[in-house]
Amino acid sequence: MKLTVIGGGSTYTPELVSGIADRHAGLDIEEIALVDPDMERLEVVGGFARRLLDHAGHPAKLRLTSDLEAGVDGAAAVLLQLRVGGQAARATDETVPLECGCVGQETTGAGGLAKALRTVPVVLDVADRVRQIAGEKAWIVDFTNPVGIVTRALLNAGHRAVGLCNVAITFQRWVAGQLGVAPDTVALEHVGLNHLTWVRAVRVDGVDVLPRLLADHADQLAEHVGLPAALMRRLGAVPSYYLKYYYRHDEIVAEERVRSPRAEDVAALEHDLLDLYRDPSLVAKPALLEQRGGAYYSEAAVQLVASLLTGRGDVQVVNTRNGSTLPFLPADAVVEVPARITGASPAPLPMAPLPPAIAGLIAHVTAYENLALEAALYGGRDRVFDALMAHPLIGQIEQATTLADRLVAVNRHFLPWAAK
């Protein structure tokens, strides 16, 4: 079978290719197509990817192309890992909100809205072309942030799509390391929206060990997610590290105002990684790649694609339609929960009722995401304002007014409706 990666010039890509190369039995891939408009960068990343496959003795053919149609032709699954505007646009996402006293982050808050405005139209155009060329049966796996909003856009447009994030698998592997058990014995009751999730149970061979984790590993948990252990005990759950932007908003804003944007650090890191990838003697992932983020991305992606294409029916945490999983949300909302992965579509597992402290925030952010998607699809400064007013981290007239104007202005060349 053929697997295509849109945004194949990403420095993440060797992580994915390494995961494929190390898992011969999991997925019978005969061809990997890396698609990217920047051929110079793609040749660097692709050259290293070829060496990874060759070193592992994997027989897959690797194809590098800037031609989307050629790249997706015959693909059984297409992975989307796009960053519209690159690190420069990310830098504005991280800094513009700070001017209004709001958190600056690439997926959360005003920065996440700006990214959705740029990204959703591009992803939908790509997906339409994928469906025309690869056919209705090809799976689209979205790793492009903001994953929840982008996945909802894809599903609303009728695409065979599922969203993927590495937060759950990262926490699963962290727990396994703390307890000294095999990762595949650890199952999480992970619930919420993309980048807004809580772990309400951690089962090892069917036994919930979360109370033990909260009692014996409180300090390590607090460091891992950036939140106090007392809060986790009060909630009876472990929030993802993205919840620090909600639970410690003002403190995070103060920290962000005195340090360089993450985008600058990542740009420098990518420069160094590309230099390493150019070395013809490099045949294994460099340690520096771990600092890029996206831990265990390759494992999550390979597991998901394998299950989608073989219908093996295992349980993985994905972004998919809510249905009746969280009854206080619309059925067409996209949630991030454990789901049984079959060849038809992910089927979310039943969830125990959520307490108001968690359900209320999920419902609030879901309403924002709906308005953010409308702004991304139909444009208009007023729709941007409406989404900002609905976001729990903004929601004030002065901030929403200023941010709506600023986000439209700095992203004008990405938004056709804003240039008119």
- How far apart, in whole angstroms, are the C-alpha atoms of residue 111 and residue 119? 12
Residues 6+ apart with CB under 8 A from 11: 45, 269, 270, 273, 274, 277, 289, 292
In 104-121, which positions are buried (b, 16+ CB within 10 angstroms) versus exposed (e)?
bbbbbbbbbbbbbbbbbb
- How far apart, in whole angstroms, are the C-alpha atoms of residue 215 and residue 217? 6
Instruction: Answer yes or no: are the C-beta atoms of 374 and 385 closer than 8 Å.
Output: no
What is the residue-wise DSSP string for 222-234?
Answer: HHHHTS-HHHHHH
DSSP H or E stretch at residue 200: strand 196-204
Q: How crowded is residue 315: how many other Cβ atoms within 10 Å of its Cβ?
A: 16
Name the active-site residue from 242, 246, 297, 368: 242
Q: How crowded is residue 246: how many other Cβ atoms within 10 Å of its Cβ?
A: 19
**Catalytic annotation present for 277:** no
Instruction: Answer yes or no: are the C-beta atoms of 117 and 384 closer than 8 Å.
Output: yes
- How far apart, in whole angstroms, are the C-alpha atoms of residue 406 and residue 400? 10
Amino acid at 341: I
Instruction: Answer yes or no: are the C-beta atoms of 245 and 393 closer than 8 Å.
Output: yes
DSSP H or E stretch at residue 112: helix 109-134
Instruction: Answer yes or no: are the C-beta atoms of 223 and 183 closer than 8 Å.
Output: no
- How far apart, in whole angstroms, are the C-alpha atoms of residue 128 and residue 207? 44
- How far apart, in whole angstroms, are the C-alpha atoms of residue 334 and residue 291? 29
Residues in the chain: 420
Pairing, β 196-204 against β 186-193: antiparallel
DSSP H or E stretch at residue 362: helix 356-378
- How far apart, in whole angstroms, are the C-alpha atoms of residue 336 and residue 4? 24
Which residues are part of the catalytic machinery? Answer: 242
